[in-house]
Chain A
Amino acid sequence: MAFKLDSKIPAGELAQKWSNHKAAIKVVSPANKRKLDIIVVGTGLGGASAAASLGELGYNVKIFCIQDSPRRAHSIAAHGGNNAAKNYRNDNDSVYRLFYDTIKGGDYRAREANVYRLAEVSNLIIDQCVAQGVPFAREYGGLLDNRSFGGAQVSRTFYARGQTGQQLLLGAYSVLNKEIAAGTVKSYPRHEMLDVVVEDGEAKGIIARNLVTGEIERHGAHAVVIATGGYGNVFFLSTNAMGSNGSAAFQCYRKGAGFANPCFTQIHPTCIPVHGTQQSKLTLMSESLRNDGRIWVPKKIEDVEALRKGTKKPSDIAEADRDYYLERRYPAFGNLVPRDVASRAAKERCDAGFGVNETGLAVFLDFKTAIERLGKDIIKQRYGNLFDMYEEITDVNPYEEPMMIFPAVHYTMGGIWVDYNLMTTIPGLYAIGEANFSDHGANRLGASALMQGLADGYFVLPYTIGDYLSKKIQAPKVSTDTPAFDKAEKDVKDKIAKLLSIKGKQTVDDLHKRLGHIMWEYVGMARTKDGLEKAIVEIQKLRKEFWADVRIPGGDKEFNVELEKALRLVDFLELGELMARDALLREESCGGHFRTEHQTEEGEAKRDDEKFAFAAVWEYKGEDAEPEMTKEVLDYEFVHRAQRNYKD
């Protein structure tokens, strides 16, 4: 049965939709909130801000994370900043401009109403975080400073050195701690959600594994919120943390939640290139570096060869012999084009043979001009920690020689389908932040992930969840002693027992690396029909091999890291196939999804709005069955879809 998707977008003018909606939805009285339980899974910006805000409202909240403390969720690693339409710089920014840049940046594949709401609440985020004591960068007059990010011609990014994600998360974690101390929130660190329990068609709780003891636990609630981030680690190598995974989201999909646009993956242009075969993850160099760094490769192939042989240093290459290809191709935005455009342009130069390191898979990010213009001290003030990190990893001093960078998997725009209330196709089950699909279309702009996580958690979900819970005020405490909980717990235990009984020859990491190779090769930066078909077959084969030959040492009732990784890989092995299917279906290029067959003469992404102006929402039909796709048509009432232009 196909989904009946109702996005619940309110009627009315774009700027009035959210106000109208808030006025129309129901609220729950304080006396009734005390009787209602909510589970939040994940403690990043979305989860922590949601749990704290819901606790303040008086609900009983349980929050789960896989790390040893809520403070360590991967939001903490975001460098650059948080966008907001404050217009403090007087550069003609506005809510509409932030909305428009985000819609355009996402290549017109996001919902207008959701994106407008995001832009609308962006300003509240800054106010909220300042009040919590987040030490944002300041100007000498004591007021907040801004910088620029890709895909925008205004300076609207608020930042705290190169550690904005850390500071915003510590802010959200601090108010979470306030609520934990007040007793409204109970924290479950080192716990992993292994299933969502659905009963009478509604979410009723989760099954979680205590990662220290291995105990399988049941937790019931009147609503469940998934805030577990993205699934970029399906590629094995990505900028995600080692533990980041798609399993919580995938269990929701298995239980009947729609999964939207799984193929929309963001490949970030400025990461440290891969070295060797034993690498465990890729390190991001902040997009903020593109404020002052210039990206180039040599114009002459003989210079490329000299660099690879080591007979020339980058600084030996004359200005006239450098190809600043982003400035050449996109004069209006230059080095600050959106991420998808910058990544593809780097790939184009490397494919043409101009890549600069031994592997041919790197371009330069050069601060020479900026150091001449501003002096080394100012560059050090702005980017010192990033320069130090680069030198620590590569042993090259970026004040002397340019950095070498290459695109890497960074973020997933696709995710669990949600309506305007952030509710999935399962009543009572919500998804927020990177875990949902709603706001970034086919490509996310820099400094917008933090914005979305906090917008959802502080300012959207606390209102919209009340509309659902207002119908539950007569409901008793959710019992976990029911057939649905029995079955979910048994399924989880059976799966673990099956994994441990295989006792094969291959390690989880070795199998995961092979999945990563398939994904990067065929479902990476450039995708073709043949390649995607091949990927589906290869992933299916690998999945069989995994279930026949994986080796997991140790038992279930103990701290067992290999078992945790294996459980996550089980889901990646299915998610990878779903991503390939989605990419195969979408016969157009848009944002981060580039089908080689669909490009303009200049090599730009060629959308097909006639056929593909929709979100592809997938429904699970069983492990070896083909999933069914339902379209949510993206009607644009307010914005005219144009070919994205960053040239003039």
Chain B
Amino acid sequence: MNFTLKIWRQKDAKSAGKFVEYPIKNISPDTSFLEMLDILNNELIQKGEEPVAFDHDCREGICGMCSLHINGHAHGPSQAVTTCQMYMRKFKDGDTITIEPWRSAAFPVIRDLVVNRGAYDQILQAGGFVSVRTNSVPDGNAIPIPKADADESMDAAACIGCGACAATCKNGSAMLFVAARVSSLAKLPQGRVEGARRAKAMVAKMDELGFGNCTNTGACEAECPKAISIAHIARLNREFLSAKLKD
């Protein structure tokens, strides 16, 4: 298959960026999207040009390192997969494919398609944990948890922290990311103890770091590679409001 790639190139955080077009030929439909970028980079290096920088690591859809806006969609046009799990058979021969980094004020570009997502770490450091010390814990089966609650907690815990939700949101809101962590812990007795403090602290940190407000457009859920439901945002709002009411 042959494609024209329109890729965002930017030397570093301070430089201005621009789109550059690259033709690429003889790509097997079974090639993954990132393997196609590997092939392009190998060609660019051979020609003496700078390869395109992009984040990736596990290439199994679980580490959350890969990103990319592909033809305007976070992680490409397929539903519920990461960029690394997308294969070229999803595109038509001859397509022009536009590839951009996450566009969010809270995720500044480092180079080309690589952005800094350190803000997500900071939000979790504000309260996305249970304050438990190593070894000061009861037996695992001393805390029975209804299966449905454990399953729902797991649904939220599937978040890979890739940044697609905030990058997709027209307000640049990180609500789905915050909600996934708050909701996962809120469904478990272990997480209830600090529930109120957690919701307030994480929301405050998100606001402080320049993420926008949630206006319930649902774009985040549609683009989330792990299909995290916005029902978790509703739970976060309940947690947050009930915590605020107690203040």
Seen from chain A, the residues whose Cβ lies within 8 Å of a Cβ on chain B are 49, 52-53, 56, 67-72, 74, 76-77, 86, 88, 124, 126-133, 135-144, 158, 160-161, 163, 165-167, 170, 173-175, 177-178, 180-181, 187, 189, 212, 241-243, 275-276, 278-281, 283-284, 389, 392-393, 395, 458-459, 462, 505, 507, 509-510, 551, 553-554, 558-559, 561-562
Are B129 and A507 in contact, with the CB atoms below 8 A? no
Are A278 and B132 in contact, with the CB atoms below 8 A? no
The list of the 3 closest CB pairs from A to B, nearest first, reads A142-B144, A174-B129, A131-B137
Q: Give the docked Cα–Cα distance between A160 and B145 (Å).
A: 14
Are A181 and B125 in contact, with the CB atoms below 8 A? yes
Sample of 15 further A-B pairs with CB below 8 A, known A177-B129, A509-B42: A52-B134, A68-B55, A72-B58, A72-B64, A135-B153, A138-B145, A138-B146, A139-B147, A142-B147, A165-B62, A166-B62, A389-B60, A395-B30, A553-B48, A558-B12
Choose the segment among B108-116, B168-176, B213-221, B235-243 that binds chain A (4+ C-beta atoms closer than 8 Å): B108-116
B208 within 8 A of A: no
Q: Give the docked Cα–Cα distance between A393 and B90 (Å).
A: 11
Q: Give the docked Cα–Cα distance between A402 and B169 (Å).
A: 40
Which of chain A's residues have a CB closer than 8 A to the CB of B60? Answer: 77, 283-284, 389
Q: From B39, which residue of chain A is reached at the shortest CB distance?
A: A278
Contacting A507 at CB < 8 Å: which of B34, B45, B111? B45
Q: Known contacts A135-B150, A142-B147, A392-B85; is A68 also within 8 Å of B125 by CB? A: no
Q: Known contacts A74-B58, A559-B53; is A56 also within 8 Å of B134 by CB? A: yes
Q: Give the docked Cα–Cα distance between A63 and B63 (Å).
A: 19
Which of chain A's residues have a CB closer than 8 A to the CB of B188? Answer: 133, 135
Which of chain A's residues have a CB closer than 8 A to the CB of B191? Answer: 133
B245 within 8 A of A: no
Contacting B51 at CB < 8 Å: which of A69, A70, A76, A553? A553
Q: From B152, which residue of chain A is reached at the shortest CB distance?
A: A135
B190 within 8 A of A: yes
Contacting B65 at CB < 8 Å: which of A68, A124, A279? A68
Are A395 and B89 in contact, with the CB atoms below 8 A? yes
Which of chain A's residues have a CB closer than 8 A to the CB of B56? Answer: 242
B81 within 8 A of A: yes
Q: From A394, which residue of chain B is reached at the shortest CB distance?
A: B30
Interface residue ranges of B12-60 to A (CB < 8 Å):
12, 28, 30-32, 34-35, 38-39, 42, 45-46, 48-51, 53, 55-60
Q: Give the docked Cα–Cα distance between A189 and B61 (Å).
A: 20
Q: From A381, which residue of chain B is reached at the shortest CB distance?
A: B151
Q: Give the docked Cα–Cα distance between A611 and B63 (Å).
A: 43
Tell me how far the C-beta of A210 lies from the nearest C-beta in chain B, rounded to whole angstroms.
11
Tell me how far the C-beta of A125 lies from the nearest C-beta in chain B, rounded to whole angstroms.
9
Are A278 and B28 in contact, with the CB atoms below 8 A? yes
Contacting B116 at CB < 8 Å: which of A68, A76, A558? A68
Q: Give the docked Cα–Cα distance between A443 and B143 (Å).
A: 35
Which of chain B's residues have a CB closer than 8 A to the CB of A558? Answer: 12, 111
What are 21 of the A-B contact pairs (CB < 8 Å)? Answer: A69-B118, A74-B57, A76-B62, A127-B139, A128-B134, A132-B129, A133-B184, A133-B185, A137-B154, A144-B141, A161-B154, A165-B62, A166-B158, A167-B154, A177-B121, A275-B30, A276-B31, A279-B35, A280-B35, A559-B53, A562-B51
Interface residue ranges of B205-232 to A (CB < 8 Å):
none
Q: Known contacts A128-B135, A144-B140, A559-B110; is A278 also within 8 Å of B125 by CB? A: no
Q: Known contacts A71-B64, A132-B132, A275-B30; is A126 also within 8 Å of B157 by CB? A: no
Which of chain B's residues have a CB closer than 8 A to the CB of A132? Answer: 129-130, 132, 190
Are B45 and A131 in contact, with the CB atoms below 8 A? no
A-B pair number, CB within 8 angstroms: 208
Tell me how far the C-beta of B49 lies from the nearest C-beta in chain A, rounded to whole angstroms.
7
Tell me how far the C-beta of B150 lies from the nearest C-beta in chain A, rounded to whole angstroms.
4
Tell me how far the C-beta of B16 lies from the nearest C-beta in chain A, rounded to whole angstroms.
17
Q: Known contacts A74-B63, A163-B62; is A67 also within 8 Å of B57 by CB? A: yes
Which of chain B's residues have a CB closer than 8 A to the CB of A130? Answer: 137, 140, 143, 190
Query: Which of B60, B64, B145 has the most chain A CB atoms closer than 10 A to its own CB?
Result: B60
Tell me how far the C-beta of A503 lies from the nearest C-beta in chain B, rounded to whole angstroms.
9
Q: Known contacts A141-B144, A280-B59; is A127 also within 8 Å of B51 by CB? A: no
Are A72 and B31 in contact, with the CB atoms below 8 A? no
Tell me how far the C-beta of B205 lies from the nearest C-beta in chain A, rounded to whole angstroms.
10
Are A138 and B58 in contact, with the CB atoms below 8 A? no
Q: Known contacts A166-B62, A241-B59, A278-B39; is A174 also within 8 Å of B124 by CB? A: yes
Tell me how far the C-beta of B195 lies from the nearest C-beta in chain A, rounded to whole angstroms.
11
Which of chain B's residues have a CB closer than 8 A to the CB of A135? Answer: 150-151, 153-154, 157, 184, 188
Tell me how far the C-beta of B178 lies from the nearest C-beta in chain A, rounded to whole angstroms.
14
Are A174 and B130 in contact, with the CB atoms below 8 A? yes
Which of chain A's residues have a CB closer than 8 A to the CB of B58? Answer: 72, 74, 76-77, 241-242
B126 within 8 A of A: yes
Q: Give the docked Cα–Cα distance between A52 and B32 (Å).
A: 37
B73 within 8 A of A: no
Tell me how far the C-beta of A230 lies from the nearest C-beta in chain B, rounded to whole angstroms.
14
B161 within 8 A of A: yes
Which of chain B's residues have a CB closer than 8 A to the CB of A77? Answer: 58, 60, 62-63
Are A86 and B46 in contact, with the CB atoms below 8 A? no
Which of chain B's residues have a CB closer than 8 A to the CB of A187? Answer: 121
Are B87 and A393 in contact, with the CB atoms below 8 A? yes
Are B63 and A175 in contact, with the CB atoms below 8 A? no
Tell me how far the C-beta of A587 lies from the nearest C-beta in chain B, rounded to whole angstroms.
37
Are A242 and B135 in contact, with the CB atoms below 8 A? no
Q: Give the docked Cα–Cα distance between A189 and B114 (Å).
A: 14
Which of chain A's residues have a CB closer than 8 A to the CB of B34? Answer: 280
Q: Give the docked Cα–Cα distance between A72 and B134 (Å).
A: 22
Q: Give the docked Cα–Cα distance between A554 and B48 (Å).
A: 10
B197 within 8 A of A: no
Q: Give the docked Cα–Cα distance between A284 and B61 (Å).
A: 12
Q: Give the docked Cα–Cα distance between A227 and B62 (Å).
A: 20
B6 within 8 A of A: no
Q: From B137, which residue of chain A is reached at the shortest CB distance?
A: A131
Q: Give the docked Cα–Cα distance between A139 and B147 (Å).
A: 6
Are B30 and A177 in contact, with the CB atoms below 8 A? no
Which of chain A's residues have a CB closer than 8 A to the CB of B135? Answer: 124, 128, 458-459
Which of chain B's residues have a CB closer than 8 A to the CB of A136? Answer: 140, 150
Are B131 and A68 in contact, with the CB atoms below 8 A? no
Are B57 and A561 in contact, with the CB atoms below 8 A? no
Q: Give the docked Cα–Cα distance between A69 and B48 (Å).
A: 31
Q: Known contacts A130-B190, A278-B35, A280-B59; is A553 also within 8 Å of B49 by CB? A: yes
Contacting A143 at CB < 8 Å: which of B39, B120, B141, B153? B141
